[in-house]
């Protein structure tokens, strides 16, 4: 029984990283993919097989309650060719009188598109520290994989929403 209890405890600790890995690999729960420049170039080469099909990308942003930042996309929607790389810019501003470090969490909807939404560069990959009253533009470079057109559950999606929420990183603010 002690061995079973220890195994259950170990599984409890392993559940979060295993779930995160599962979501990253499958795009489950709206988890986007991280891509390299080479993968973006490959997708761009196959963009022609998408027949010039376009998709609308909508950007949503918010900050956690009590975080004194303003955070918003500079353009709320982009219409892009599937397989082509694009860039979206977000504006973040620290409205407080002290430095604040934030980290962004993200997801996409509909959830079945997460496996095809690829980010090459994103402010969400690292923590961001903004000085008092500092405003910065933060880019996201992304593409939608042409393989989305082969997925019966995702091929007819006309709009993908990429949503970000900034959270204060406790212990990192001065």
Q: What is the pLDDT of residues 101-137, one digit of tens each?
A: 999 999 899 999 999 999 999 999 999 999 999 999 9
Of the ranges 13-17, 27-31, 154-158, the best mean pLDDT one: 154-158
d(CA 124, CA 140): 8
Contact 73, 142 (CB under 8 A): no
Domain for residue 4, yes or no? no
With a cut of 50, say whether residue 22 has pLDDT above it: no
Domain for residue 44, yes or no? yes
Contact 86, 142 (CB under 8 A): yes
With a cut of 80, say whether residue 40 has pLDDT above it: no
Q: What is the mean pLDDT of residues 9-34?
A: 50
Domain for residue 140, yes or no? yes
Domain for residue 23, yes or no? no
pLDDT band at 13 (very low <50, low <70, confident <90, very high): low
Domain for residue 65, yes or no? yes
Domain for residue 7, yes or no? no
Element (H, E) at 24: helix 2-26
> Could you tell me the residue range of the domain that residue 85 belongs to?
32-168
What pLDDT is attached to residue 23? 45
Contact 58, 75 (CB under 8 A): no
Q: Give tens-digit pLDDT for 43-67.
A: 555 555 556 799 999 999 999 999 9
Q: How far is CA 80 from the centre of its chain?
A: 17
**Count: domains in the chain:** 1
Domain for residue 87, yes or no? yes
CATH of the domain at 122: 2.60.370.10
What pLDDT is attached to residue 45? 53
Domain for residue 18, yes or no? no
Q: What is the spatial order of strands in the sheet that 69-73 belongs to?
A: 33-34, 117-122, 135-144, 86-94, 69-73
Q: Which residues pair with 136 in a beta bridge?
A: 92
d(CA 155, CA 39): 20
């Amino acid at each position: 029984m002690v061995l079973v209890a220890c195994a259950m405890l170990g599984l409890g600790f392993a559940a979060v990283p295993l779930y995160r890995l599962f979501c990253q690999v499958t795009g489950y729960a709206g988890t986007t993919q991280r891509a390299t420049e080479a993968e973006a170039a490959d997708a761009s080469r196959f963009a022609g097989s998408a027949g010039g099909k376009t998709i609308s990308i909508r950007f949503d942003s918010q900050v956690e309650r009590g975080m004194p930042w303003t955070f918003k996309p500079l353009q709320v929607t982009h219409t892009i060719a599937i397989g082509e790389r694009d860039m979206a810019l977000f504006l973040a501003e620290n409205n407080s009188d002290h430095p604040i470090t934030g980290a962004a969490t993200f997801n996409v909807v509909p959830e079945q598109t997460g496996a095809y939404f690829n980010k090459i560069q994103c402010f969400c990959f690292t923590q961001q520290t903004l000085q008092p009253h500092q405003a910065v533009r933060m880019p996201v470079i992304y593409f939608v994989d042409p393989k989305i057109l082969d997925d019966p559950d995702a091929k007819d999606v006309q709009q993908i929403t990429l949503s970000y929420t900034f959270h204060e990183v406790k212990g990192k603010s001065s």
